Amino acid sequence: MDEESGRIYIDSNREGSLGSYDIWVLEGADGVPENLGDPINTNLVERSLWTDGKLMFFTGLNYKSGIGGYDIFVSFKKEE
C-alpha cells in the first residue's frame, strides 16, 4: 500500500487480466481495481509484486526487455 496516496497494489488473475496474473491498483480500500495495462501487464505471466509506494518490484516471464525466463523488474514513481 502507498501510504501517501492510499493506493493499494495487488496481483490477480481476475476477469479483465491480460495474462495469468496482472498488477492492479485500487484507490483506497473501497476503490475499484484498475489494471495497470501495457507495458507493466502483458499476455505473459506476472507472478509477484512488492511496493512501498515509491518503488515497485515485479516479476515477468520472457519480457522483451528481460534476459530470458523470469526476470525481476523495478518501476519508480514519478515525482509529482
The overall average pLDDT reported for the chain is: 81
- Distance between CA 53 and CA 64 in Å, rounded? 25
Give the pLDDT band of residue 80 (cuts 50, 70, 90).
Answer: low
DSSP code string of 30-50:
TPPPEE--TTTS-SS----EE
pLDDT score recorded for residue 1 = 66
Percent of the chain scored above 70 by pLDDT? 91
Compute the average pLDDT of residues 39-54. 74
Q: Answer whether 57's CB lies under 8 Å from 73's CB.
A: yes
- Predicted local distance difference test score (pLDDT) of residue 32: 92
Distance, CA of 17 to CA of 76 (rounded, Å): 23
Condensed to tens digits (0 to 9), the pLDDT of residues 53-69 reads 778 888 877 777 788 88
